[in-house]
Every structure is written in structure tokens, then in C-alpha cells.
């Protein structure tokens, strides 16, 4: 008997599968293609005043009401405020009734004035001009019909313009109960990014006239241009004027379903509820934008060190002995492994917080966990939000007692997921959060897991409508696919919530918005409708799960969530859902990963080798080479696919040892990027334009990416290729796998690089100091090895400088910061000038690193003059005597492309190693020598 698959839309919900296979990919179902008729004449501004704290408060009146998609709301409140130097908020809502908004307790932010306070047409503190000026941004408006413009104060550049002319293919402002529309003009040359979650076949840039629908849906990531698991209504706009770039971002904070129509010259939002709550972030660099965005929505959660190791998962580890064999086989194959996962195979009857007593007997599982915990390995299991309806199941019984479930007509809403009939916890209810924390505590006492994987939380439902448990038949039967609905269900169409007047392009097919999820007329705590809160479900579960794990042992939580919303990165990591073992899916993984960095969820990756069906051996080779450099690196496979652990093929094992070997050497760098992400929001994996924003050639590079600002990953993404075409911005790039190999370009170049089956090209940019260790098979051991600092100078310069940073801490503690003696931060510097080389450090909070005893054993300096020998070594101002055990070692470097001066001798460069050092990482040091 096959168990029901625990993987979200893992094989595509069967009822959608036929529809998708019948041509969703081959024909445009996009509602963006036809020009929509105009809906109304907009609003006029009838009063505006300044509040005591300097904001604008205005009142709008509809100009010409109509009944298209329902009656217009007659009066609106306009609230505009420069909340920070680089953030402007424009909030528009009903002036006479409170409307649904993203709850302020879920996403903390300033609350606008309560709308009923502004019903009167007071002109007190009236303002006479039509401009409202902040430090970086300027807001201006026209009164009739009302429209607004957001500009840069510095140069008057228009970032957002909501005005509408007769020739525009969109309407003026429309604000009805279940239909909101607003648009902005755009310069055609603007490059836009974001608006996810969406698998984008054209790369990371938004593509005109493709549909961008935002509504959390359990639909496999193999489906292109479709609303997937997360909702992130934010875009970054990158422009370039005369070779100088500027970026800004626009967030529409709204959890209701929406279609976003990007036409190249304009962008239109069509939303089925809520309010218009815009935030504008001034940038001007892409990194500035993400820092400003995450300052509002929450900085990304710090991840434990071990989370940057390699993870192995599979749906179908039928019993504990299989899991034990997997761990042992990774060890035998000498492939690094930090975390072993269980999909729902460990559960009894697919029920959360349970153990199968036959296949995963508790005492044997505890013994296994003791064994792997002793060497630093970790164990993570899945939990789904659907709680099985079962009179002997304590989790459900306690939930019923505490009244924690979403309701329909006063009774817990009934759905079906893997265990059969389920109820869904309502995480908007404080009582539910307390119950959930208690259930996580109970489970942790049963099984001391190291993190939780929350899946199916869009929320996914194998049925639709109002359902009952059938009488006289078993559901599920246990003989067929577990994702076939076996409850007795009827459609719910009697309310305007279940059948709204405007149909978003849900699932790419304009299916009813309650299809295969919770009925949208179901009710949450305090009368909140699922219609409004739907896309917040996974976000609210992440917050509750984070609280639960944080309260366990005071350790840093690790949570992997499939469904995400604005702010999810503060609590959870993300994987990109159910992908396929195809070359196209390998390609798509890069833009999706890069988008999540922009969304403030930097810990992200795709299922390596694909979730289903079986990958080819060659594809799995190339996927682990790429996946070794995802921020979150996990192999995960489907029950129905053949086994695809990395040791299953010797060729894949070789590629894994090579690529993961480099990853484990780079763990100090990745962990330092984790610290930077938590403090500044900076993505771990970044598009090239983050480091090279002025270069238009980088704006749609979707086959390469940067780790941090300086490590360039250029994978093979096509079948039967042994070379890769890689773009290199100007400067010097050094191969990390062979640092003698140097690429020097004076202008942007696309180069063909050798890439045999077991090779991935990874390059380090000039002006960087990269901290590395010696690697190992598990992060705990790799972390104890001596450090090597790689100093990359420009190869064709007689003078140069380089910088880097290193953050070290006790990664089990919840916070990731300085100041409590449990962390150390090191700034690294290097210069070369007139043949003199100097490398030094500046240590903050030295205590932690000194107690750990970390040392720097080696310096590798790249790009030095090969015609001169290294001599006169000094450490901390003292000459190093012969016999000290410290030695110089120099190798001449070779150019794969040399674009130095035409004619004459080309300057040769050398890689110089200083070996045998024993410098305390926690102490300031200075190492210098002459090249003479």
C-alpha cells in the first residue's frame, strides 16, 4: 500500500493536472492581453490638511458612481506621510468605515488616523500647495480627478504617477468594496523585478504582458507565470540615465488576491479587497532598496551555522533504518551532510506531532538522534497545518477544547489533506498560538527535533466547498492517491466572498478563489474573513512556529515554510516548492532564488535534482554543482521517483564532493553574509546588478549570480555542455577552484569557460578579502579548522586595496549580534603599493574568538607582480626569522583573457601564499612583506 504523499501540490492536484497539461503553457490565458474598459471617472480631492505630526490627511469623493464590480465607496480618506528619510507612505481607505488591512500585530507599523475622525470637511491647517516634500522623496497631487506623483527630490525623476489620460489602457482610481484599481505610468526602459511568487521563464526581469497574479496557491512551481505559494506585492524599479543607475521600490501592502498588469509603459493593480497602502523606498542603490524595505517588514531571521550545511530529504524514507543508511552512505561517499529530514514517513497516519510506532519506534529514533547530535548533525521533520479530525487524537481534541479552528457557519471548517478529514488552525487567534506552542513543546519532548518544516500552508485542501465526512466509506480509502477528494462536498457560491464580482486569474485559469483551499466565506478570529486573510495563512503560521521554537530551549529557530508573505523572512527560510527534474527547472531556480532575496527572504533554495520525476545522471551532476551555492542547499525527492541521494551515482558523488567541498570551505563567508542579511537585509544570493548597478548588461542576467558582493557563480544549465558562457563585469576575477586562473576584463565581456562534467566556475572579484576554512564532512567539524584569508588585488594595477569581514558567534543563541561576549566581528584590510604588501585586521569583541582558539594558518594574496620575489616578512612589526616554520610560496598566474594594454609586454601576476602562520583570529594582526 502506498502512503499518501506529504508534499503539498506535489504531483499537482489531480483535478488541476489535466487542465494544466492541456495547454496552459502553450497558450496565453493572460488577462493582460485585452485592453480593459475604463471603470469610472475616479475621485476628486475635496479637502486636505496637515496633521500635527506633519502628515497629510485628505478626503476624496467619487466623481461618477457606477455599478461595475459593485458600487463605488463614496468617500475615501487619503493619508500621506514621510515615515523616514527614505520611505514615503500613501494610504487610501474608506473614509466612513474601517476596512480590512494586514493586521498591525502581524506586521508592526504605524497606524493611520482612524478614518471616521476625518468625516468632516474641516480646512483647519489646510495646505495651499500641491507638493509635500521629504528628505529624499516628493509627493504631489492633482485634485480633479485625483492623482498623485512620487518623485525623487534630488532630480525630479518621476517614480510613480497615478494619473490617467483618455488614451491610457487603464482607469483612474477605482475604489469599491471588492474591486480596487490604480495604475502608474512607467518609462519603457525601466527594469522591474519582484511581484512573486512566480516561476518566470524569461529570467529575473518582469516581462511585459505576462500575468502576475498574487494569491497564495498550492500549485506546483513547474507552472509558469502563475500565482504560486507566496504573495509579495512589491517590485524594484531599476533605471539607468547616462550610465548612472538609480533604483527604488514600491510595496502595495495588501493581502487580498490581485492581478498586476505590467505593460512595459504602465503597471495596473486590480485588487479584490482591502485598502491601498503604498510604501515607496527611495534607494538609490539596489542594496539600499532592500535595506529600506526590510527596515519596514522586518530584517531576515538569523540562521544557525549548521543550516548552511547540506541537507538531505526524501518523501519515502519508510522506516528509520532507511534514514540511518542514508546518513551512513553519505559518510562512506565522503559527501558533506549536516541535516537529515523526514517528510511525513515518521508520522502515524500522516498526523502532525505523532510517531509511527512500527516504522519509527521512539526509543530507536532517540538513540539515532543521540548518535547524530553527538557529531553535530541535525534532524528536521515536516508538519502541515491540517489537523486530523479524530476523536482519539489528542492534538485535535485539545484544539477543539480551546476553540482554535477556522469556522464556517459556527462549526470548524472541514477540509481534506494527507490524513483525511482535517480542521485548520486559525493563527490569527491568540488562543491558537498558545495551543500551537504547547503542541510543539509536547512533540519536542517526544522527539527532540532541531527545526520544523511547515508545508501545505497556502492553505492547501484536496477538496473545495462545504464538506462532510462521508458515512459508510473510509476516507481516504488507503488504496488510491491521497490527494483525491473523498469527502462529500458541495460548492459554496451563495456569498459575494465565494464568488466575487471580479475574477483574479487564480491558478492561471481564473478558477474560483476558494478552489482547493479554505472557503473564502469561512471565518477567522474576530470575524475576519478567509477572503481577506487567505494569503496571510503561511505567514501567520510561521510567526506562531517561530514563537514555539524560540520558547523551547532558547535556541535559534530554524523554520522552512512553503507559503510566504511580506515579512516572512523575519521568521522563516523558504524552498521554491515542487519542481521537476528538468533542465528548464534547473534554470528557473535562479530567478526565483534571486527574487526571494529582494523579498527579504535570503535563506532560499530549490529541491536539488528536482522533486519529480527522476532526473538524469547528467542533470543531477549539474544541479548539485549549482545547488551547492544556493543559500539553502537541500536534495529532496518524491516518493514515486527513484532514489536520488547524491551517492546514488559515482559521477554525481564526485561533483558533490567538489562543489560541496567548496561550499564547506566558504561556510565562514556564508555565515557572515547571514549576519549581514539580519542587520541590513542584504540578500545572500544576489543578481549581478546589485554589485554593478550601472551596467545595463547585468540587468537581466539570470544564469549567474553573486554570493554577497564578490563571489560569482556561473553554472552549466544545459544538457551535454562542457563549456559555459559567463558574463564578467570589468575588473579582475580569480577562479576559486584554481586561483592561478585569472580573468581580467576592461569592459563587460561574455566569455566561454571550460566546464567539464564535474566542474562549476566560481570566481572571486578584486578588492575582496574572503575568509575560508579547510572544510569537512559536517559544519561542526569544518568550523574548527584553521582559517585561510584570500586577498584579491586587481591584477593589472601597481596599487590596490582589498577588504572583507568575518562574523563568528555561538550560533545556538537566538540573537545574532555583538556586545554580549558571545560573538566576534573582524574587519579585514589589505593594501599593495610600490611593492609593499600589508594585510591586517581590526577585531571587535575579541573574547569569543579567543576562547574558541581559532587561528589564521594561511594568507593567499592574488594579483601580485610576478617579476618580483616576496621577502622581508614581518608579523606585527617584527621580522620573521629563518626556522620559524613560516614560508612563502609563489605561483605564477595565467590569464584566460588578457585585455591589458595592446602591444608591449604583458605584466605577469603571481599568487603568493604565506603558510605556517598561527595568528589568533580574535587578536588584531598585521602581516607585511616586500615584493622586490
In the CATH hierarchy, which top-level class contains the domain 42-111+126-296?
Answer: mainly beta
Span 698-753, pLDDT tens digits: 999 999 999 999 999 999 999 999 999 999 999 999 999 999 999 999 999 999 99
Please name the helix (run of DSSP H) or strand (run of DSSP E) that holds residue 832, with its range, or none.
strand 823-833
Span 432-450, pLDDT tens digits: 999 999 999 999 999 999 9
CA distance 247 to 865: 39
* pLDDT confidence tier of residue 236, bands split at 50, 70 and 90: very high
Q: Enumerate the H helices of 414-536 as residue ranges.
A: 430-446, 530-533
Average pLDDT over residues 640-653: 96
Q: Which residues contact 321 (CB under 8 A, 6 or more apart)?
A: none
Does 42-111+126-296 match 703-931 in CATH topology? yes
In degrees and rounded to multiples of 5, residue 310 shows phi and psi of -90, 145
Residue 85's CB: how many other CB atoms inside 10 A? Answer: 11
Catalogue the long-range contacts made by 494-497 (C-beta closer than 8 Å, 24 or more residues apart).
Answer: 495/521, 496/70, 496/178, 497/521, 497/529, 497/530, 497/531
CA distance 901 to 919: 39
Q: Enumerate the H helices of 737-862 as residue ranges.
A: 779-782, 847-852
Cell of 16: 488541476
CA distance 606 to 590: 9
What does pLDDT average to over the chain? 92
pLDDT at 123 over 80: no
* pLDDT confidence tier of residue 127, bands split at 50, 70 and 90: low
Span 350-366, pLDDT tens digits: 999 999 999 999 999 99
741-745 and 894-898 strand pairing: parallel
> Looking at domain 305-588, does it have CATH number 3.40.800.10?
no
**pLDDT in the model for residue 13:** 38
**Domain covering 703-931: architecture:** Sandwich (2.60)
**pLDDT in the model for residue 128:** 54
| Catalytic residue numbers, as ranges | 455, 458, 578
In degrees and rounded to multiples of 5, residue 877 shows phi and psi of 85, 0
**pLDDT in the model for residue 119:** 43
| Rg, the chain, Cα only | 29
Span 656-708, pLDDT tens digits: 999 999 999 999 999 999 999 999 999 999 999 999 999 999 999 999 999 99
**pLDDT in the model for residue 19:** 35
Cell of 26: 502553450
pLDDT at 15 over 60: no
CA distance 604 to 317: 24
Does residue 37 or residue 781 have the better pLDDT?
781
pLDDT at 185 over 90: yes
Return the domain boundaries, the chain: 42-111+126-296, 305-588, 703-931
**pLDDT in the model for residue 7:** 37
- Under a CB-based contact definition with an 8 Å cutoff, are residues 115 and 57 in contact? no
CA distance 77 to 55: 13
* pLDDT confidence tier of residue 484, bands split at 50, 70 and 90: very high
Taking alpha carbons only, the member of 913, 896, 507 closest to residue 734 is 896
**pLDDT in the model for residue 115:** 66
Average pLDDT over residues 229-238: 98
Amino acid at each position: 500500500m502506498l502512503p499518501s504523499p506529504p508534499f503539498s501540490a506535489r504531483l499537482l492536484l489531480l483535478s488541476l493536472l489535466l487542465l494544466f497539461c492541456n495547454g496552459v503553457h502553450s497558450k496565453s490565458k493572460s488577462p493582460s492581453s485585452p485592453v480593459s474598459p475604463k471603470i469610472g471617472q475616479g475621485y476628486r480631492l475635496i479637502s486636505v490638511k496637515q496633521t500635527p505630526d506633519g502628515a497629510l490627511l485628505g478626503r476624496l469623493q467619487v466623481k461618477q458612481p457606477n455599478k461595475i464590480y459593485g458600487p463605488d465607496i463614496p468617500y475615501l480618506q487619503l493619508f500621506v506621510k514621510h515615515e523616514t528619510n527614505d520611505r514615503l507612505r500613501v494610504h487610501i481607505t474608506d473614509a466612513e468605515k474601517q476596512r480590512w488591512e494586514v493586521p498591525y500585530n502581524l506586521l508592526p507599523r504605524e497606524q493611520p488616523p482612524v478614518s471616521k475622525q476625518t468625516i468632516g470637511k474641516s480646512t483647519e491647517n489646510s495646505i495651499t500647495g500641491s507638493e509635500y516634500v521629504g528628505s529624499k522623496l516628493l509627493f504631489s497631487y492633482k485634485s480633479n480627478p485625483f492623482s498623485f506623483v512620487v518623485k525623487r527630490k534630488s532630480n525630479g525623476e518621476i517614480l510613480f504617477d497615478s494619473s490617467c489620460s483618455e488614451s491610457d489602457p487603464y482607469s483612474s482610481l477605482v475604489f469599491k468594496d471588492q474591486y480596487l484599481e490604480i495604475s502608474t505610468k512607467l518609462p519603457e526602459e525601466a527594469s522591474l523585478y519582484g511581484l512573486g511568487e512566480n516561476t518566470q521563464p524569461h529570467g529575473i526581469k518582469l516581462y511585459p504582458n505576462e500575468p502576475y497574479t498574487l494569491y497564495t496557491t498550492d500549485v506546483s512551481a513547474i507552472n509558469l507565470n502563475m500565482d504560486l505559494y507566496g504573495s509579495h506585492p512589491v517590485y524594484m524599479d531599476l533605471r539607468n540615465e547616462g550610465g548612472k543607475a538609480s533604483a527604488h521600490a514600491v510595496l502595495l501592502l495588501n493581502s487580498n488576491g490581485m492581478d498586476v498588469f505590467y505593460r512595459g509603459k504602465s503597471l495596473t493593480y486590480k485588487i479584490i479587497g482591502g485598502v491601498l497602502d503604498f510604501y515607496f523606498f527611495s534607494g538609490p542603490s539596489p542594496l539600499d532598496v532592500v535595506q529600506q524595505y526590510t527596515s519596514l517588514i522586518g530584517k531576515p531571521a538569523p540562521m544557525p551555522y549548521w543550516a548552511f550545511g547540506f541537507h538531505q530529504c526524501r518523501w519515502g524514507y519508510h522506516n528509520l533504518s532507511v534514514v540511518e543508511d542514508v546518513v551512513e552512505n553519505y559518510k562512506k561517499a565522503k559527501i558533506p551532510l549536516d541535516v537529515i529530514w523526514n517528510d511525513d514517513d515518521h508520522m502515524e497516519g500522516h498526523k502532525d506531532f505523532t510517531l509511527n510506532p512500527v516504522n519509527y519506534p521512539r526509543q530507536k529514533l532517540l538513540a539515532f538522534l543521540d548518535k547524530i547530535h553527538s557529531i553535530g548533525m541535525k534532524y528536521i521533520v515536516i508538519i502541515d497545518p491540517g489537523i486530523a479530525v479524530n476523536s482519539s487524537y489528542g492534538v485535535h481534541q485539545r484544539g477543539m477544547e480551546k476553540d482554535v479552528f477556522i469556522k464556517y457557519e459556527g462549526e470548524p471548517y472541514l477540509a481534506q489533506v494527507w490524513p483525511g478529514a482535517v480542521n485548520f488552525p486559525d493563527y490569527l487567534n491568540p488562543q491558537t498560538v498558545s495551543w500551537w506552542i504547547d503542541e510543539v513543546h509536547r512533540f519536542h519532548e517526544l522527539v527532540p527535533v532541531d527545526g520544523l518544516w511547515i508545508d501545505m500552508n497556502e492553505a492547501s485542501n484536496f477538496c473545495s466547498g462545504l464538506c462532510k465526512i462521508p458515512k459508510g466509506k473510509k476516507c481516504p480509502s488507503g488504496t488510491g492517491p491521497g490527494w483525491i477528494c473523498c469527502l462529500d462536498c458541495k460548492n459554496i457560491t451563495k456569498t459575494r466572498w465565494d464568488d466575487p464580482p471580479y475574477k483574479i486569474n487564480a491558478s492561471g485559469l481564473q478558477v474560483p478563489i476558494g478552489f482547493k483551499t479554505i472557503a473564502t466565506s469561512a471565518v477567522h478570529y474576530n470575524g475576519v474573513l478567509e477572503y481577506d486573510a487567505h494569503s496571510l495563512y503561511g505567514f501567520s503560521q510561521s510567526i506562531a512556529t517561530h514563537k514555539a521554537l524560540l520558547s523551547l530551549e532558547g535556541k535559534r529557530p530554524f523554520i522552512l515554510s512553503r507559503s510566504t508573505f511580506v515579512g516572512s523572512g523575519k521568521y522563516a527560510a523558504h524552498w521554491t516548492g515542487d519542481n521537476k527534474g528538468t533542465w528548464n527547472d534547473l534554470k528557473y531556480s535562479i530567478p526565483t532564488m534571486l527574487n526571494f532575496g529582494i523579498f527579504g527572504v535570503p535563506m532560499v533554495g530549490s529541491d536539488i535534482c528536482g522533486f519529480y520525476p527522476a532526473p538524469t545522471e547528467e542533470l543531477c551532476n549539474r544541479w548539485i554543482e549549482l545547488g551547492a551555492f544556493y543559500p539553502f542547499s537541500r536534495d529532496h525527492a518524491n516518493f514515486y521517483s527513484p532514489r536520488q541521494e547524491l551517492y546514488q551515482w559515482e559521477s554525481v558523488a564526485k561533483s558533490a564532493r567538489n562543489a560541496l567541498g567548496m561550499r564547506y570551505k566558504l561556510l565562514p563567508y556564508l555565515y557572515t553574509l547571514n549576519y549581514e542579511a539580519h542587520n541590513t537585509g542584504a540578500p545572500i544570493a544576489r543578481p549581478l546588478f546589485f554589485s554593478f548597478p550601472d551596467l545595463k548588461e547585468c540587468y537581466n542576467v539570470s544564469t549567474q549570480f553573486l554570493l554577497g558582493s564578490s563571489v560569482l557563480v556561473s553554472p552549466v544549465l544545459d544538457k551535454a555542455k562542457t563549456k559555459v558562457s559567463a558574463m564578467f563585469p570589468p575588473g579582475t576575477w580569480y577562479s576559486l577552484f584554481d586561483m592561478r586562473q585569472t580573468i581580467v576584463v576592461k569592459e563587460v565581456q561574455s566569455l566561454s569557460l571550460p566546464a567539464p562534467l564535474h566542474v562549476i566556475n566560481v570566481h572571486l572579484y578584486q578588492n575582496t578579502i574572503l575568509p575560508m576554512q579547510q572544510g569537512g564532512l559536517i559544519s561542526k567539524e569544518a568550523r574548527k579548522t584553521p582559517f585561510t584569508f584570500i586577498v584579491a588585488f586587481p591584477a593589472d594595477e601597481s596599487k590596490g586595496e582589498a577588504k572583507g569581514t568575518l562574523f563568528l558567534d555561538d550560533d545556538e543563541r537566538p540573537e545574532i549580534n555583538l556586545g554580549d561576549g558571545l560573538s566576534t566581528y573582524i574587519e579585514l584590510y589589505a593594501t599593495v603599493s610600490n611593492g609593499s604588501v600589508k594585510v591586517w585586521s581590526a577585531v571587535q569583541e575579541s573574547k569569543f574568538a579567543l576562547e574558541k582558539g581559532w587561528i589564521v594558518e594561511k594568507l593567499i594574496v592574488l594579483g601580485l607582480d610576478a617579476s618580483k620575489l616576496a621577502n622581508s616578512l614581518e608579523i606585527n612589526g617584527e621580522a620573521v626569522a629563518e626556522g620559524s616554520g613560516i614560508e612563502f610560496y609563489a605561483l605564477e598566474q595565467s590569464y584566460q583573457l588578457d585585455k591589458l594594454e595592446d602591444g608591449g609586454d604583458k605584466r605577469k601576476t603571481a599568487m603568493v601564499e604565506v603558510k605556517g602562520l598561527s595568528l589568533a583570529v580574535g587578536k588584531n594582526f598585521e602581516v607585511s612583506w616586500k615584493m622586490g
